[in-house]
Structures are given as C-alpha cells and as structure tokens.
C-alpha cells in the first residue's frame, strides 16, 4: 500500500514536470518529392529519439518548396535543383543550401532483339533527345556497342511531362556535354523538348518505355532499382562506361568535393573521377541563415547534424547514395553560418 | 391577418436566403475570374494577345504561348464529341424508346456507372489497355494511309486519337443519361400523334427527338464541358508534346494537362504566371462555348416557335426564311 501510494505520487510528479521539461516543437517544411522517402524516415526516427520534436514535410515539389520558403510560410525548404541567383535575390534573407543525399538518373530502353546492356555517351544521349539520332542502328549507337545487333527501327523518345528534379539532373548533364543541347533546350525542371512524348512521373516514363518497342527514357536510379528495370551504362568524363550504382554516385560527389563552392550550389553531373557516375546530383535542404525563430533553428541545426552523420545509414535501404565524408565535413562548417 | 403576414415574412426570408445562395455562385465566378486575372498579370503584360497564338512553350527561355494547348483541348474535345454523340444518343433512344422493360433499368444503371469511375482509373485503363491496342492499330495502318496528315507520325500508341477515345468513353454516360431523361420527358401524345398520322416507329422517334432537341443539345454540351476540363486521363494518354497537328497519331497536349503537369515545379514568377494565364484562357474559352451553346439553344427554340403555326401563317414562315 505504501509503495503504491509512493508510486502514484511519483507518477503525478513526473506528469507535472513533463510539459515544463519538453515543450513540443513543431516545424514545417516543404519541397522536393525525390528525397521524400528518406526525409520522412529521418523525421520519424528523430521523433523517436526526441518525442517532443515534430517535423512536418510536405512533398509539393522543388518549385513549390522554394516558393513557400520565399514566402516564409514554412521554416525550411527542400529542392532537387539549387535556387537560381534570381530566386535568391527574391528571398527575404540569405539562404543556405545543405546537400543531404544523392540521387542519379539512368537511361532505360526497350529495343527489340537487344537483351544485354547498351552503352551510351553523353553526346549520344543528347543527340537522341534532340532528335538528331533517330534510328537504333545509327552509326553513333553502333560505334559504342560493337557486336550488338541493333534494329533499324525508329527511336521513340520518352521524357517527363511533369516538372521534376529528375529532368533537371538529366538536362543539366546533357547541356554540359553537348553545346548544341544547351543552346536548343537548356536546363530547368521542365524544358521545351524538341521531340518525343511525355510520361507523368517515373512510373509514366517507365510504363511508356516498357510498352513501346524502340523507345528510350530516363528515370531515377532508385525507381529503376526498386522496380528491377534494366538500364544502360553511361560514359563518364574519364571515358569509362559505368552502370549507375550507389557507390558510383557517391564517387561523383567525392570528385566534386575538391572544388565545392562555399554555398554548395553545385552541379555534379559529368564529374571527374574514373568511378564517378556522370548523371548524379545532390538534393538540398534550404534554410535561412538568419532565421526568425531561434528555437526552431536550434532544433533544425541539431537535426541536420544528425541526418548528415547518423542519418546517412538509412540511405542504402531506401536506394539513396550517401554523402561522401569530405562533403559532410564541409557542411559541418557551413551549418555554423545559421545564426542561433 | 396574423398567419398570412407570418407567411409573407417566411416567404421573404426564404427568397432572401435562396437569393443569397444564388448570389454566392455569381461572386464565386467573379472571384475566380478576378484571381486568374490578377495572378496572370505578369504574363499578360509580357506576351499580350500573342500568348493566344504563339506556338512556343519554353520554360528555360521564359517564352510562353498557349496555342498548342488551346488546339489540343479543342481538337480532342471535338473528336471526343464526334465519337460519343452518336453512341450516347443511340443508347438514350434505345433505353427510352425501344428497350424491353426488363433491360431498361440494368442498362441505365450500367451506363451511369461509367460516370462514377474516377478519371485516374480511366487513365490507367488507357495506359495499360487502350494505348497498346491503338499502337497495334497504328502499326497495322497501311503506308498509303500513313501519308495522309490525319494518320502521320510514328506508332507511339499515345496521342490525340487515344485521348479522344478515352474522352469519348468518359463523356458517353453524361450525354446518354441526360438525353434519356429528355426523351422520357417528351409527352406521349407527341408519339401518339405521329403514329396517328401513319408514322413508322423511326419517324415517331424522330418526332420525339425533334420535340426534345434543346434538351438533347444541352446533353451534348454537358459532355463537351466534361471533355474540355478533363485532366488526369488525358495527360496519361495524350503524349504531352506541345505541337499543333491534325494527326491522330501525334502526341499533343491540353490546357488542363499542362497546368497539372508543370504547376508544382514552376518556381519562376513568369512561368507560374503563364501557367495561370493558361487557366484564364481555359476559363474564357469555357465561357465562350457556354455562350455559343446558349445561342444555339436559343436559335433552335426560336425556330420551333416560328414553325409551330406553320399552317396558320405561312407568311411568317416566309418572312423568317
């Protein structure tokens, strides 16, 4: 009896102390859909360790994330492409870009009679998407794939119809390796494609490619891995043909780390390094350097430090490439720019 | 005295209340128009009327024109009506005039069930069933036919023709169920009168349709409205390539589809404004079509009134002609 009464009192005491000790913090963010699976995993895991912290993330798209951040309706944003100079100018304060994980884009195809892996160079992919290489037995394709019997069918080009970070990474790469592509198409989340049909989402593109004999498309590496879609090898800057892998993507980021600009707004497509997969990219979290709500800022800084170190172990399971050590080191310094 | 005055206040209150609800609709439309104008100002100022006729849609260069989307929306809706109208009217006539009683209810239920299927389901059906079918048809198209602009282009499966078919399937239940109700509302005396004059069954049905034609036109217009605004199913099968082409095989685009596709990632102000202006164009075109259909219905009813006293006043008939 005595013990139980003591227990009861103790429980009362704990209950009374709880609200004071841990005020629930709720933080809202919005942005890219590509990193959404790992972000929600991170927020859930972090919430398990710190039950008082709740981070809500709306995956409304990179453009929407940047817009909401600029309008200050969310505390942090997320984007697959870095903010442009003009967008930064429109923001009410300086914005810090922090790379969180890496993704890659792979070419997928459906060529009757070809079962093995096809090889592509950046210039070839650019010419296909410009409509200049229009047949599968074009000498430009045959040269890279000796011994493969290529049919004389038309190439049906498939691209994304919705604005997307995947398109951004893909055209960013094609623009780097082909001046012609850069001049005619350029880089954005949606572009004016000279040829082809648009599929909605990774699943739309993959569906069209699967159904259409003689087609080529591009999807996120994660999507290709999880759905077991065969994809081609792409020639990197050092001349090596590589099939995309999580290691290859991290290697590309490591190659880029040497010349990393202070604001992390860097494209790592066509990166140097013999193991670097060329169509790779960071995805970023966006914070104000001088946030209004210091309490939330403190929480997010702690969270980001955790995500960049311990959090990286969730990457492999979800199909993301983890950040290379060098980049994590650089970011640890950059986080200090957030004024707490 | 007292009860009657209470009744009149009740009536007044009721009138006021329903009037407010009606006003709410007007305000809503005005509000949408205002907001569309306001948010698309940037693009309206930059491109002016050229927005309606320019073919280019280039988010990278910041150069926007709505012509391929306007074309795609109107062309696909027109084709859809071309396919759906005869089928829908056939269904309506069969159900109201010819069908055995036992079949009537289940058949009507089934056509109306088509209307309840969400458009994303139609889209999926389109992608997995219709698109491969259309592609087979395209591959089987003989070469001399492929030279005609209506059938030119590579066999992709997705494209204008596929979009028109899926739209037609979605439109049929709307048109047919309204047309059926219209035919059922035609007084039986009309048909009996026709029979009395020695009309065949077909002629009697024609007479009934003639009597109800404003309603039937209304049913078709309702289908058109559905076709113009349809987004998800269209974007999944139309190919999403902004080009202006007569070809049924060519991938094209529609206004609703481009808004749905590109809105989320449009971070640049001008880009967003151009997308909202597409919404404005869609709004204006819907208004125009509604206006035209009103005019059509009005002209049809007017014709009926003129023709009714045919025997009595041939002079009026002549004057109208």
Domain boundaries, chain B: 68-270+286-320
pLDDT of residue A116: 83
Would you say residue B133 has pLDDT above 80?
yes
CA distances from A125 to A107, A108, A111 (A): 9, 11, 15
Give the tens place of pLDDT for each residue, B162-205: 999 999 999 999 999 999 999 999 999 989 999 999 999 999 99
- A40-44, A219-223, B87-91, B313-317: least confidently modelled range: B313-317
Q: Please provide the average confidence, as pLDDT, over all residues in chain B.
A: 88
Residues in chain B: 321
Digit-coded pLDDT (tens) for A299-314: 999 999 999 999 999 9
A165 in Cβ contact with A101 (< 8 Å): no
**Among A13, A232, A261, residue whose Cα is nearest residue A124:** A232
The predicted model gives A31-38 an average pLDDT of: 89
pLDDT tens figures, B73-87: 999 999 999 999 999
pLDDT at A21: 46
Evaluate whether A128 touches A244 at the Cβ level (below 8 Å). Answer: no
Q: What is the pLDDT of residues A9-30, one digit of tens each?
A: 555 444 444 444 457 889 999 9
Q: Number of residue pairs across A and B with CB atoms under 8 Å?
A: 100
pLDDT, position B312: 42
Q: Return phi, psi of residue A189, to 5°.
A: -75, -25
**Cβ of A193 and B58 within 8 Å?**
no
Residue from A33, A154, A188, A194 whose CB has the most chain B CBs within 10 Å, to mutate = A188
Return the residue of B nearest to A67 by Cα: B267
pLDDT of A16: 47
Provide the sign of the torsion angle of the four alpha carbons B145, B149, B155, B158, taken in this order: negative
Mean pLDDT calculated for residue range B262-279: 88
pLDDT at A227 > cutoff 50: yes
What's the whole-number mean pLDDT along residues A239-260? 89
Question: Using CA atoms, how far apart are residues A185 and A192, in angstroms rounded to an integer?
Answer: 6
Residue of B260, B265, B271 for testing the chain A interface, max A β-carbons within 10 Å: B265
Which residue from B227, B234, B223 is spatially nearest to B126, judged by alpha carbons?
A: B234
Q: Is the separation of the CB atoms in A205 and A229 below 8 Å?
A: no
The whole-angstrom distance between B259's CA and the closest CA on chain A is 9
CB B216 within 8 A of CB B182: yes
CA distances A276 to A25, A165, A243, A281, A284, Å, are 40, 20, 10, 11, 20
Helix (H) or strand (E) holding B63: strand B63-64
> Chain A within 8 Å of B120 (Cβ-Cβ)?
no
Question: Is the Cβ–Cβ distance between A209 and A232 less than 8 Å?
Answer: no
The answer to whether B10 faces chain A, any CB pair under 8 Å, is no
Beta strands in chain A (DSSP E): 25-31, 53-58, 76-79, 95-110, 119-120, 156-160, 197-199, 215-220, 233-235, 241-242, 280-288
Contact A186 B236 (CB under 8 A): no
B241–A156 CB contact, under 8 Å: no
- The whole-angstrom distance between A227's CA and the closest CA on chain B is 17
Question: In the β-sheet with A280-288, what is the strand arrangement from edge to edge?
Answer: A53-58, A25-31, A76-79, A280-288, A95-110, A215-220, A156-160, A197-199
| pLDDT score recorded for residue A33 | 85
pLDDT the model gives residue A214: 92
- Identify whether the C-beta of residue A95 lies closer than 8 Å to the C-beta of residue A289: yes
On whether the CB atoms of residues B225 and B204 are closer than 8 A, the answer is no
Q: What share of chain B is helix, strand, coil (3-state, %, to 5)?
A: 80, 0, 20
State mean pLDDT over B147-153. 86
Mean pLDDT of A321-331: 92
How high is the pLDDT of residue B311? 44
Of A63, A84, A161, the CB nearest to B235: A161
Q: What does the CA dihedral B97, B100, B101, B105 come to, rounded to 10 degrees?
A: -80
Torsion angles phi and psi, residue A36, rounded to 5: -55, -45
Q: For A103-158, what is each residue's pLDDT tens digit?
A: 899 999 999 888 888 999 999 999 999 999 999 999 999 999 998 999 999 999 99
Chain-centroid distance of CA B94 in Å reads 22
Of A189, A174, A145, the C-alpha closest to A270 is A174
The predicted pLDDT at position A8 comes to 52
DSSP designation for A231: -
Smallest CA–CA separation between B285 and chain A, in Å? Answer: 24
A200–B261: do the CB atoms touch at under 8 Å? yes
The answer to whether A189 contacts B57, with C-beta atoms less than 8 Å apart, is no
Interface contact B152, partner A, CB < 8 A: no
User: Per-residue confidence at A101, pLDDT binned at 50, 70, 90?
Assistant: very high
Cβ pair A255, A267 in contact under 8 A: no
A197/B59 CB distance under 8 A: no
Helix (H) or strand (E) holding B58: strand B57-58
The region that residue A186 occupies, defined by phi over 0 for left and psi between -120 and 50 for alpha, beta otherwise, is left
- Judged by a CB distance cut-off of 8 A, whether residue B131 touches chain A is yes
What percent of chain B has a predicted confidence (pLDDT) above 90? Answer: 62
**Average pLDDT of A232-251?**
92
Check residue A7 and give its pLDDT.
53
Could you read off the pLDDT of A47-89 as tens digits, one per residue?
Answer: 999 999 999 999 888 888 898 999 999 999 999 888 888 889 9
DSSP structure class, residue A83: P
CB B162, CB B80: distance < 8 Å: no
CB–CB of A163 and B265 under 8 A? Answer: yes
The pTM score is 0.82
Task: For A151-192, write each residue's pLDDT tens digit.
Answer: 999 999 999 998 888 899 999 999 999 999 999 999 988 899
Residue A251: is its pLDDT beyond 60?
A: yes
- Name the residue among B188, B181, B130, B185 with its Cα closest to residue B159: B130
Question: What are the pLDDT digits (tens) for B95-119?
Answer: 998 989 899 989 989 988 888 999 9
What pLDDT shows up at residue B315? 42
Segment (H or E) for B57: strand B57-58
| Res B321 pLDDT > 70 | no
8 Å CB contact of A162 and B61 = no
- pLDDT tens across B205-234, in order? 999 999 998 899 999 998 999 999 999 999
Return the CATH fold of B68-270+286-320. MetI-like fold (1.10.3720)
The pLDDT assigned to A200 comes to 87
B146 versus B131: the higher-pLDDT residue is B131
Residues of chain A with C-beta less than 8 angstroms from the C-beta of B57 = 192
Interchain CB distance below 8 Å, B262 and A190: yes
């Amino acid at each position: 009896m005595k013990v139980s009464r003591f227990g009861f009192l103790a429980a009362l005491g704990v209950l009374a102390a709880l609200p004071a000790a841990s005020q629930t913090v709720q933080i809202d963010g919005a942005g890219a859909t590509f990193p959404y699976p790992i972000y929600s995993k991170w927020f859930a895991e972090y919430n398990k360790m710190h039950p008082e912290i709740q981070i809500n993330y709306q995956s409304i798209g990179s453009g929407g994330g940047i817009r909401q951040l600029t309008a200050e309706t969310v505390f942090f944003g997320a984007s697959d492409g870095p903010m442009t100079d003009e967008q930064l100018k429109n923001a009410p304060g300086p914005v810090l870009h922090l790379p969180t994980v890496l993704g890659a884009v792979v070419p997928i195809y459906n060529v009757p009679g070809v079962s093995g892996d096809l090889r592509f160079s950046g210039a070839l992919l650019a010419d296909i998407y410009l409509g200049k290489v229009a047949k599968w037995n074009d000498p430009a394709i045959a040269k890279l794939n000796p011994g493969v019997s290529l049919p004389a069918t038309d190439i049906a080009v498939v691209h994304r119809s919705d604005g997307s970070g995947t398109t951004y990474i893909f055209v960013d790469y094609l623009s780097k390796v082909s001046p012609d592509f850069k001049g005619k198409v350029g880089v954005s989340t949606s572009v004016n494609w000279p040829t082809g049909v648009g599929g909605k989402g990774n699943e739309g593109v993959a569906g069209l490619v699967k159904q259409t004999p003689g087609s080529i498309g591009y999807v996120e590496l994660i999507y290709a891995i999880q759905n077991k879609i065969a994809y081609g090898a792409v020639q990197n800057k050092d001349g090596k043909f590589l099939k995309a892998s999580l290691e290859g993507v991290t290697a590309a980021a490591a190659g880029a780390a040497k010349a990393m600009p202070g604001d992390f707004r860097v494209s790592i497509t066509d990166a140097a390094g013999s193991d670097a997969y060329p169509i790779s990219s960071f995805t970023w979290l966006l914070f104000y350097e001088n946030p209004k709500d210091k309490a939330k800022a403190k929480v997010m800084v702690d969270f980001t430090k955790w995500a960049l170190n311990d959090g990286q172990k969730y990457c492999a399971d979800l199909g993301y490439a983890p950040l290379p050590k060098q980049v994590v080191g650089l970011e640890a310094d950059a986080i200090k720019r957030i004024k707490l | 005295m007292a009860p009657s005055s209470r009744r009149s206040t009740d009536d007044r209150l009721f009138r006021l209340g329903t009037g407010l609800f009606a006003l709410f609709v007007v305000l809503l439309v005005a509000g949408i128009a205002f907001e569309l104008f306001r948010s698309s100002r940037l693009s309206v100022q930059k491109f002016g009327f050229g927005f309606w006729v320019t073919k280019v849609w280039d988010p990278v260069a910041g150069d926007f024109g709505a012509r391929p989307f306007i074309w795609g929306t109107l062309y696909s809706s027109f084709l859809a009506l071309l396919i759906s109208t005869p089928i829908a009217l056939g269904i309506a006539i069969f159900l109201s005039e010819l069908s055995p009683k036992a079949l009537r209810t289940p058949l009507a239920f089934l056509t109306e069930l088509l209307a309840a299927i969400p458009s994303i389901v139609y889209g999926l059906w389109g992608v997995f069933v219709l698109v491969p079918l259309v592609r087979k048809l395209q591959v089987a198209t003989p070469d001399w036919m492929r030279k005609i602009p209506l059938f030119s282009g590579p066999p992709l499966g997705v494209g204008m023709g596929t979009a028109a078919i899926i739209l037609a399937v979605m439109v049929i239940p709307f048109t047919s169920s309204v047309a059926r109700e219209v035919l059922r509302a035609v007084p039986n005396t009309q048909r009996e009168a026709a029979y009395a004059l020695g009309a065949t069954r077909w002629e009697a049905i024609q007479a009934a349709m003639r009597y109800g034609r404003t309603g039937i036109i209304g049913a078709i217009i309702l289908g058109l409205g559905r076709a113009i605004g349809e987004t998800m199913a269209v974007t999944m099968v139309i190919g999403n390539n902004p080009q202006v082409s007569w070809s049924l095989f060519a991938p094209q685009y529609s206004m609703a589809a481009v808004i749905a596709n590109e809105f989320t990632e449009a971070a640049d102000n001008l880009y967003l404004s151009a997308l909202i202006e597409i919404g404005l164009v869609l709004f204006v075109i819907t208004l125009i079509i509604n206006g035209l259909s009103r005019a059509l219905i009005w002209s049809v009813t007017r014709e009926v009134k003129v023709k009714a006293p045919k025997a009595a006043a041939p002079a009026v008939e002549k004057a109208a002609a």
